[in-house]
Chains A and B, each alone.
Chain A
């Protein structure tokens, strides 16, 4: 039997970032199957799918649809070959109705005038025939994210897609919406469509996929029947080693409460709550790790704590003072440091030089400015100090920083944020995309700060990092902190179950059973 889709020896190198995103990748998918593609962030899943959909041109390799080699240079070609993609960020027009979005570009018309009634009727029929009911006349800006995704799926079905690519489709959904989506995916496969399901959530793979292909650092590791591998095995294949991050640290000596958040309510994009009743406390001299599947409100929680996102209800207390509605600068002045999620965009300004980047949080104070004028020599001295203390290789005073590696850039961020001994350090994904050496450096630095008495709030989707660094672990799920555990009482199973939404009692009893 020929495969519905085959990708052979795909290679893609991005010269601008120096990343070899796909290195001799092979993929074979049968008709009517749900085929999961898993891998860590940056493993090359999204690049591979972009190549398949014609958004990225590969350097080498070929694509076969139903056994015939095809050239896909543009999404047009992909659609012609019956390949449709639901992107992680939906491509919908908010003020248009569902019908208008689905039929965009294919409007039934008479000499250019649109026949609105036929259009709505067509969409109603399409939706019914696939068992995906929608209200054709509802406006996209008024509907939930789950329904928007359904509209995207209908949009590509309307274009007669036989192969559907779903790029991390569950990242934006609530648990109920996820289970609905998985049902839809199964029924589409039963109707003969082929589905490529990109994800890094292994429980979903187990629930929905027939086969799973694993990618690791741009290479294909292999394809396995889902019923033949356990989640644990898949995880090990994904990471490529049995991961044990060893970080040397002494026991924490927690002091007074530095930061406490009480039942925060924070809006996410699209008017649904991203943080919904989260409460936590961080003490001086300890690292509190927040574990959770990405998209459960961690980013919004951090933004609310540092003052980048308004809090709609609840209070944030820092050193006994209510700072719920304080500005970013006021919080920084009081001793809050923030290592942001994205160092390239929020952490640093890559268009300017080292000096301005290190002084940007303190330029308004002496000695860096006097009577409204910047004092260049003290600023240079500050830059020199940071370069030396954090051994930022190849960074020079007064020179641009955009050519530096991720590790060196993160060291600049650390140097700037940790200057002046902050009382609270909020670090969001501080080691994402870094090499092993830099990861160790960041970890060591955070522990040093803890030992100096700072309170550290660490948010990371890397479970190993959370386990290695934290003194206590808070698990975040659906906008809430569902459990706070001492790191001594934690097992990976228990964490995994909590991160997937189980209650603490349930997780504990399940973990006990597993040990019996």
Chain B
């Protein structure tokens, strides 16, 4: 198996690209345009969540509290708009700030008070789920769902000129501000990580803490920045869920999207641009799950269709693991091949231990 992979590496890579292209063509011409549009729209929390995961983990902290941070953002956006008549963009902004504050608190608890990272993340996630339910009941008297006509969703913005383009116009235009912002932020994250001094220090901290420390980089400060930024991205993703789609808050409405976002970043090997496209794929899987449910001629149980994004997640994780494993095996094989041959030559040519 591994021998085959080794021998046909280039062909295999070509195969993967061909498969991707075929999938793309199939999707573009085989599915109605509105499914594609909703794929791109639904990809937004994955794009932002994956960026949140990438920023934190590139700085050497696995942020497993993204789901909780998203949920907080979703709740804050709705709470800010409830019977205040404020612009929905204010809601999105404050959701971002709230996510950032939670990220900062998370960073301080972990880096200063040194609480175990995994326990802390679990605690934050559980706390936010229950705190949002609590405030929903006590503050707003709402059970399960918090909705009100005063909560306006983010308006759709048509991009001038771009919406005139044939075909692409309807794909690239006609979304709300957070969707566009998520595209810009993906690019920003890439630029910050790979083109700025701060980004380089952040990556150095994540990859070899001691190396960063030995040249005088303040590790704690870098990680606090990274986690705060990560929280802001997650908070914004949450705002999209509550006021970007339905203008309401639903108990535990992230539905594990924060966790899927972490998978997206893992699958893309923590590279922002590949993560953006992976997120689109997850958006597609979610849109497909809705689309197929609406088609009565499809004879599949609806529960299974609902689980398409989760099935895609498990498949993605398996592919990541296989890729890593194959990398290790390949390295060993190449080692054995290279030095084994040298050793054989040595055995035939000269006595062992020659000077």
Partner of A93, one of B195, B204, B332, B343: B204
Q: Does B87 contact A (CB under 8 A)?
A: no
Q: Does A219 contact B (CB under 8 A)?
A: no
- CA–CA, A94 and B201, complex, Å: 14
Task: Place the interface of chain A in its size category.
Answer: 35 or more
CB-based contact A104/B200 at 8 Å: yes
CB-based contact B339/A265 at 8 Å: yes
- CA–CA, A63 and B265, complex, Å: 49
CB-based contact A76/B207 at 8 Å: no
Q: Does B355 contact A (CB under 8 A)?
A: yes
Interface centre among B196, B335, B339 (most CB of A within 10 A): B339
Pick the interface stretch among B25-33, B106-114, B214-222. Answer: B214-222
Would A96 and B343 be within 8 Å (CB), given that A114-B197, A271-B335, A482-B352 are in contact? no
Q: How far is the CB of B271 from chain A (nearest CB, A)?
A: 12
Residues of chain B contacted by A477 (CB below 8 angstroms): 353
CB-based contact A506/B336 at 8 Å: no
Pick the interface stretch among A272-280, A329-337, A411-419. Answer: A272-280
Q: Does A107 contact B (CB under 8 A)?
A: yes
CB-based contact B200/A92 at 8 Å: no
Q: Does A254 contact B (CB under 8 A)?
A: no
Q: How far is the CB of B214 from chain A (nearest CB, A)?
A: 5
CB-based contact B196/A114 at 8 Å: yes
Pick the interface stretch among A200-208, A357-365, A496-504. Answer: A496-504
Q: How far is the CB of A116 from chain B (nearest CB, A)?
A: 8
- CA–CA, A506 and B353, complex, Å: 11
Residues of chain B contacted by A105 (CB below 8 angstroms): 201, 212, 215-217
Q: How far is the CB of B170 from chain A (nearest CB, A)?
A: 36
CB-based contact B207/A93 at 8 Å: yes
- CA–CA, A114 and B347, complex, Å: 51
Residues of chain A contacted by B343 (CB below 8 angstroms): 263, 265, 276-277, 313
CB-based contact B211/A506 at 8 Å: no
Partner of A276, one of B210, B331, B339: B339
Chain B contributes a number of interface residues (CB within 8 A of A) equal to 31
Residues of chain B contacted by A92 (CB below 8 angstroms): 208, 211
CB-based contact B340/A313 at 8 Å: yes
- CA–CA, A159 and B216, complex, Å: 11
Residues of chain B contacted by A106 (CB below 8 angstroms): 215
Residues of chain B contacted by A75 (CB below 8 angstroms): 213-214, 216
Q: How far is the CB of B18 from chain A (nearest CB, A)?
A: 29
Interface residues of A in 276-302 (CB under 8 A from B): 276-277, 279
- CA–CA, A109 and B217, complex, Å: 16
Q: Does B149 contact A (CB under 8 A)?
A: no
Would A273 and B211 be within 8 Å (CB), given that A112-B196, A279-B352 are in contact? no
CB-based contact A79/B197 at 8 Å: no
Would A501 and B215 be within 8 Å (CB), given that A265-B336, A267-B335, A271-B331 are in contact? no
Residues of chain B contacted by A100 (CB below 8 angstroms): 200
Number of A-B contacts (CB under 8 A): 101
Q: Does A452 contact B (CB under 8 A)?
A: no
The binding surface of chain B is classed by DSSP as helix
Would A503 and B354 be within 8 Å (CB), given that A100-B200, A101-B211, A105-B217 are in contact? yes
Residues of chain A contacted by B211 (CB below 8 angstroms): 91-93, 101, 104
Residues of chain A contacted by B204 (CB below 8 angstroms): 93, 96, 104
Q: Mark A106-123, 1 if CB is under 8 A from B, else 0.
A: 110100111000000000
Partner of B352, one of A159, A271, A480: A480
Interface centre among B195, B201, B216, B332 (most CB of A within 10 A): B216
Q: Does B203 contact A (CB under 8 A)?
A: yes
Interface residues of A in 461-493 (CB under 8 A from B): 477, 480-483
Interface residues of B in 8-43 (CB under 8 A from A): none
Residues of chain B contacted by A104 (CB below 8 angstroms): 200-201, 204, 211-212, 215, 217
Residues of chain A contacted by B207 (CB below 8 angstroms): 93-96
Would A312 and B197 be within 8 Å (CB), given that A93-B207, A104-B211, A482-B353 are in contact? no
Residues of chain B contacted by A263 (CB below 8 angstroms): 343, 347
Interface residues of B in 161-214 (CB under 8 A from A): 195-198, 200-201, 203-204, 207-208, 210-214
- CA–CA, A109 and B200, complex, Å: 12
Q: How far is the CB of B127 from chain A (nearest CB, A)?
A: 31
Q: How far is the CB of B333 from chain A (nearest CB, A)?
A: 9
CB-based contact B352/A114 at 8 Å: no
Would A313 and B336 be within 8 Å (CB), given that A75-B214, A480-B352, A482-B352 are in contact? yes
Would A91 and B210 be within 8 Å (CB), given that A265-B339, A276-B339 are in contact? yes
- CA–CA, A279 and B352, complex, Å: 9
Residues of chain B contacted by A310 (CB below 8 angstroms): 332
Q: How far is the CB of B328 from chain A (nearest CB, A)?
A: 11
Q: Does B346 contact A (CB under 8 A)?
A: yes
Q: How far is the CB of A274 from chain B (nearest CB, A)?
A: 11
CB-based contact B331/A277 at 8 Å: no
- CA–CA, A75 and B198, complex, Å: 21
Q: Which residue of A lies closest to B331 (CB)?
A: A271
Interface centre among B197, B200, B335 (most CB of A within 10 A): B197
B residues apposed to A, CB below 8 Å = 195-198, 200-201, 203-204, 207-208, 210-217, 331-332, 335-336, 339-340, 343, 346-347, 352-355
A-B pairs with the 6 shortest C-beta distances? A482-B353, A105-B215, A312-B336, A503-B355, A91-B211, A313-B340
Given A263-B347, A506-B355, 19 other A-B residues pairs in contact with their CB atoms under 8 A: A75-B214, A87-B214, A94-B207, A94-B208, A96-B207, A100-B200, A104-B201, A104-B215, A105-B201, A105-B216, A109-B197, A267-B335, A277-B352, A312-B336, A312-B339, A313-B336, A480-B353, A482-B352, A503-B355
A residues apposed to B, CB below 8 Å = 75-76, 79, 87, 91-96, 100-101, 104-107, 109, 112-114, 155, 159, 263, 265, 267, 271, 273, 276-277, 279, 310, 312-313, 477, 480-483, 501-504, 506
13 contacts between A and B (CB under 8 A): A91-B208, A104-B201, A105-B212, A105-B215, A113-B195, A267-B332, A273-B335, A273-B339, A312-B335, A312-B336, A477-B353, A480-B353, A504-B353
